[in-house]
């Protein structure tokens, strides 16, 4: 029976989940969950989607009702920041001066939005979107007659653009590359989402760089581009990626490489008493034989299970296929695996009809699938990525052949 003291730093999706899994798996010792945000763990995905559009309330965001933590003997300390870690003494110092001793420490400090180091970046109305407070600030500034500029055509930026349109705002997306989703999707997918956003009234500025923001009375009023143009606006969302909050770990001498480096149990490679899970962790994915830092809810949950199992002495949970999703307008994009080392691509279904899937293969083995409004393709594709079973590419490309029948 595991009885030791567990301290969890970061009360987000990973931190809140690992606390619950520890109890579910039978951990009987004390659990302390430290989070610098003032509220109990909540889900971030709706912040750019349903919640921003006013289709979900604050209660619906919560991972668990607040009462869950006390009822399960989890000492949740909201509004409290961990400021120092001493792995030799197995102790953590908090901003209020308190010191916590642990037998096992779980770093679940997530990531933070990258800001743009340009003139005017600190003007009122230049926002990022990471927390419920950020979403609240953004929502208050959107609506008919407002112009929203989104910097960065990645998933979060595009979801904000779609939500902005739903709220009646004019929306301009500025992207440095020559297509949106350039870092994460193939051209077929980029072209599809590009056309869809334009059809919904979004203005796209591609191959455009932001060199500054202009303001009036301390409030943002324009975005300045490298080619000299100015785009008038009322609010800006900078969605250019996130950095892991791994400074505590790095300062304490734990191996970090854009994230805390962990093994298949989510255990730090430098200290057997320390775990790192979720956006802050750099973890192995045996399917691809390399380390990844993943920013997704399924990853936070998978690693929360791994760490909880290792702490209570249960067998390691079965490996999962990494996946994530993005909702924009009436489109549900579901992605499984990573398009790495692939040498051919199969498109199944019809992009014109808004229902298709792109399979990325190495030989006849599916390495990744991106499915738009196509749950069977996603579900079966995810399974194929995990098992590595070969497929018949002719059958795979024919949407009239069931996904169950595509195996070679
Ligand atoms: C707007 C938005 C939309 C998203 N949409 C999707 C989606 O559609 N699908 C998907 O799969 N994923 C999505 N994600 C990503 C997903 O939400 C994250 O991968 C997930 O929240 C990671 O969980 P985490 O616990 O690792 O980090 P977080 O949820 O960020 O939690 C980390 C917590 O630790 C706190 N913290 C940091 N440092 C300290 C410290 N020193 N002391 C105390 N507390 C600290 C942070 O403030 C934060 O509360 C989205 C993210 C955002 C921001």
In three-state form (DSSP H/G/I as H, E/B as E, the rest C), the secondary structure along the chain is CCCCCEEEECCCHHHHHHHHHHHHCCCCCCEEEECCCCCCCECCHHHHCCCCCCCCCHHHHECCCCHHHHHCCEEEECCCCEEEEECCCCEEEECCCCEEECCEEEECCCEEECCCCCECCCCECEECCCCHHHHHHHHCCCCCCCEEEEECCCHHHHHHHHHHHHCCCEEEEECCCCCCCCCCCCHHHHHHHHHHHHHCCCEEECCCCEEEEEEECCEEEEEEECCCCEEECCEEEECCCEEECCHHHHHCCCCECCCEEECCCCEECCCCCEEECHHHEEEEECCCCEEECCCCHHHHHHHHHHHHHHHHCCCCCCCCCCEEEEEECCEEEEEEECCCCCCEEEEEEEHHHCEEEEEEEECCEEEEEEEECCHHHHHHHHHHHHHCCEECHHHHHCCCCCHHHCEC
- Tokens in use for 121? 């970046």
How far does residue 110's CA lie from ligand 1's centre (Å)? 5
**What is the spatial distance between Cα 63 and Cα 140, in angstroms, rounded to a whole number?**
24
Which tokens hold the place of 183?
Answer: 């870092």
Which residues in the chain are classed under CATH 3.30.390.30?
330-405
Which atom of ligand 1 is nearest the CA belonging to 41? 49
Q: How far is the CA of 353 from the centre of ligand 1 (A)?
A: 34
Token code pair at residue 103: 């037998």
Q: What is the pLDDT of residue 1?
A: 52
Identify the residue whose C-alpha is closest to ligand 1 atom 11: 296
CB of 279 closer than 6 A to ligand 1?
yes
Q: Does residue 278's CB lie within 6 angstroms of at least one atom of ligand 1? A: yes
The Cβ-side half-sphere exposure at 272, using a 13 Å CA radius, reads 1
pLDDT, mean of each 10-residue run, the chain (408 residues): 90 98 98 97 96 86 96 97 98 96 98 96 97 94 95 97 96 97 89 97 97 97 97 98 98 98 98 98 94 97 98 96 96 94 94 95 96 97 96 97 90
Nearest atom within ligand 1 for CA of residue 326 = 8
Listed residue (303, 39, 330, 307) closest to 166, CA to CA: 330
Best mutation site among 7, 8, 13 for ligand 1 pocket (most ligand atoms within 8 Å of CB): 13
d(CA 150, CA 157): 6
Q: How far is the CA of 37 from the centre of ligand 1 (A)?
A: 11
> In angstroms, rounded to a whole number, what is the distance separating the alpha carbons of residues 253 and 70?
33
Q: Which of 9, 217, 179, 27 is nearest to 93 (CA)?
A: 9
Adjacent-strand bridge partners of 61:
none
Give the position of tokens 């489109």: 331
| Phi, psi for residue 97 in degrees, rounded to 5 | 95, -10
The atom number, within ligand 1, closest to the CA of 94 reads: 42
Q: What is the CATH number of domain 6-112+243-312?
A: 3.50.50.60
- Tell me if 252 CB under 6 Å of ligand 1: no
Closest residue by Cα to atom 12, ligand 1, is 296
Check pocket membership of 116 for ligand 1, CB cut-off 6 A. Answer: no
How much distance in Å is there from the Cα of 227 to the middle of ligand 1?
Answer: 35
Mutate to test the pocket of ligand 1, among 63, 295, 298 (most ligand atoms within 8 A of CB): 295
Look up the CATH superfamily of 330-405.
FAD/NAD-linked reductase, C-terminal dimerisation domain (3.30.390.30)
CATH code of the domain occupying 126-238: 3.50.50.60
How far is residue 189's CA from residue 356's CA, in Å, rounded to a whole number?
10
Q: Is 33 in the pocket of ligand 1 (CB under 6 A)?
A: no
With a CB cutoff of 8 Å and minimum separation 6, the contacts of 269 are 255, 261, 262, 263
Among 408, 324, 292, CA closest to 361: 408
What tokens were used for 344? Answer: 């051919």
Ranges of CATH 3.50.50.60 domains, the chain = 6-112+243-312, 126-238
- Using only C-alpha atoms, the chain has a radius of gyration, in whole angstroms, of 22
Distances in Å between the Cα of 338 and the Cα atoms of 247, 287, 288, 335, 393 are: 27, 10, 8, 8, 19
Task: Say if ligand 1 is within 6 A of residue 109 CB.
Answer: yes
């Amino acid at each position: 029976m595991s009885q030791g003291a567990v301290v969890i730093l970061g009360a987000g999706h990973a931190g809140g989940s690992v606390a619950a899994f520890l109890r579910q798996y039978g951990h009987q010792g004390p659990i302390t969950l430290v989070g610098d945000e003032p509220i109990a763990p909540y889900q971030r995905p709706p912040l750019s989607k349903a919640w921003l559009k006013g289709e979900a309330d604050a209660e619906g965001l919560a991972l668990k009702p607040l009462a869950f933590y006390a009822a399960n003997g989890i000492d949740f300390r909201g509004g409290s920041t961990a400021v120092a870690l001493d792995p030799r003494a197995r102790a953590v110092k908090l901003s209020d001066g308190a010191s916590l001793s642990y037998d096992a420490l779980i770093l679940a400090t997530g990531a933070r939005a990258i800001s743009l180091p340009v003139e005017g970046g600190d003007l009122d109305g230049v926002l990022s979107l990471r927390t419920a407070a950020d979403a609240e600030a953004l929502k208050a500034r959107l609506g008919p007659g407002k112009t929203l500029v989104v910097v960065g055509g990645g998933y979060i930026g595009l979801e904000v653009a779609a939500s902005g349109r739903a709220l009646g705002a004019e929306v301009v997306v500025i992207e440095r590359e020559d297509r949106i989703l350039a870092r994460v999707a193939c051209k077929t997918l980029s072209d599809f989402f590009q056309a869809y956003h334009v059809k919904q009234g979004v203005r796209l500025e591609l191959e455009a760089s932001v060199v500054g923001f202009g303001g009036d009375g301390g409030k943002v009023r324009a975005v300045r581009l490298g080619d000299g143009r100015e785009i008038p606006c009322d609010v800006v969302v900078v969605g250019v990626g996130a950095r892991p909050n791994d400074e505590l770990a790095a300062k304490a001498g734990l191996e970090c490489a854009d994230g805390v480096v962990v093994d298949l149990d989510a255990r730090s490679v430098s200290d057997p008493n320390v775990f790192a899970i979720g956006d802050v962790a750099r973890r192995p994915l045996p399917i691809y034989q390399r380390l990844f830092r993943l920013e997704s809810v399924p990853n936070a949950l998978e690693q929360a299970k791994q760490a909880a199992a290792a702490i209570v002495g249960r067998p390691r949970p079965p490996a999962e296929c990494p996946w994530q999703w993005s909702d924009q307008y009436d489109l549900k994009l579901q992605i499984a695996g990573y398009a790495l080392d692939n040498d051919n691509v199969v498109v199944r279904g019809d992009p014109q009809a808004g229902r298709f899937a792109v399979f990325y293969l190495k030989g006849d083995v599916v390495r990744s699938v991106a499915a738009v409004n196509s749950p069977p393709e996603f579900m079966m594709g995810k399974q194929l990525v995990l098992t590595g079973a070969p497929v018949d590419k002719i059958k795979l490309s024919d949407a009239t052949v069931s996904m169950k029948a595509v195996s070679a």
